[in-house]
Amino acid sequence: MIYPPLIGAFRNGAIPPDAAILRNSRERVHEMPSQSVAQRHHRLRPRVPSGKGTRMSDIPAPGPARHTLLEDTQGLLSGTVLVSLSVVFLHGAGLFTGQIAGLSLVISYLSGWSFGAVFFLLNLPFYWLAFRRMGLRFTLKTMISVALLSAMTEVWPHLISFATLHPGAAAVLAGATAGAGLLALFRHGASLGGVGIVALYLQDKTGFKAGKTQILFDCCVFLFAVFVLPLDKVLWSLLGAMVLNVIIMINHRRDRYIAI
């Protein structure tokens, strides 16, 4: 505080305004003996105006870029073409994979039913979860992707045939093409339903990587396949699933790709 004699001197002009302020500041310093020098200097230091002295980390990052309709269209088409080709590789060598697609292949081998029809039907129960948890936009893109994949897998056998296809080559090619296709779908806000919906939901909510969730489900599919398919087919299929999941785990990073 400023004592009364000092106020009178200030009013009489004996003490310039700046000197009065300086003397007041000094008296305030003496009234804070318990504070450190650094704390006192911090309290007396003038505040930096807004916009000055701001660190780069304090500046908010721009929001994610949104894909256009054309970009989403090519993303969904590219993704489903690649994944459907991976199904052709697997089917040509009598192999399978994980997730709903792998389960659909195993069922088609055992029953003789079309892969496309089985895959489409198995995905139906998951659309409600997709709508409730991931939104209408994601659900519609996923439904379109599943329908496209089901249709493409019915068309490719009439256009592509293999005179020789080693199971090892089929496994690696299937894993690589499926991984690239799923990445395209994920980055355009879609999936191929089933476990892909659950995997993306868990990654968005908990940070648990989508590839790890898929591996857990793959273990269940492969355990079932051991009892119904030849062991060598199961082992080659395991190689393809490993290639697929490694590609997803390494490349599907939200912190490195923020477009939606």
Please count the other Cβ atoms lying within 10 Å of the Cβ belonging to residue 246: 14
The model's pLDDT over 182-232, given as tens digits with 9 standing for 90+, comes to 999 989 988 888 887 787 778 878 888 876 887 788 788 999 999 999 999
CA distances from 13 to 24, 27, 41, 224, 235 (A): 16, 20, 29, 97, 97
**Residue spans of the chain under pLDDT 70:** 1-64, 211, 254-260
- Helices within the chain (DSSP H only): 4-11, 17-30, 37-44, 69-93, 99-111, 115-123, 126-134, 136-155, 167-187, 195-206, 210-226, 231-251
Please count the other Cβ atoms lying within 10 Å of the Cβ belonging to residue 12: 8
23: left (phi over 0), alpha (psi -120 to 50) or beta: alpha
The pTM of the full predicted model, rounded to 2 decimals, is 0.70
| Vertex 190: Cα angle to 186 and 193 (nearest 5) | 105
Rounded to a whole number, what is the largest CA-CA distance in the chain?
Answer: 109
Please count the other Cβ atoms lying within 10 Å of the Cβ belonging to residue 102: 26
pLDDT value for 223: 93
Asked whether 167 and 93 are in contact (CB, 8 A), the reply is yes
- Per domain, the residue ranges of the chain are 4-47, 69-251
